[in-house]
Amino acid sequence: MLTRQDPAGYAAACAAVREADFTSTTAAIKVPTLCIVGDQDGSTPPELVESLARSIPAARFEVIAGAGHIPCVEQPERLAGLIRGLYVAAPHPCAPITRRSRPL
Beta bridge partner(s), residue 37: 63
pTM of the model: 0.74
Q: Which of 33, 36, 26, 32 is nearest to 64 (CA)?
A: 36
Which one-letter DSSP state was computed for residue 57? T
Beta bridge partner(s), residue 60: 34
DSSP 15-53: HHHHH---TTTGGG--S--EEEEETT-SSS-HHHHHHHH
Per-residue tens of pLDDT for the chain, all 104 residues: 667 889 899 889 888 888 888 888 999 999 999 999 999 999 899 999 999 999 999 899 999 999 999 999 999 999 999 999 998 888 766 655 454 444 44
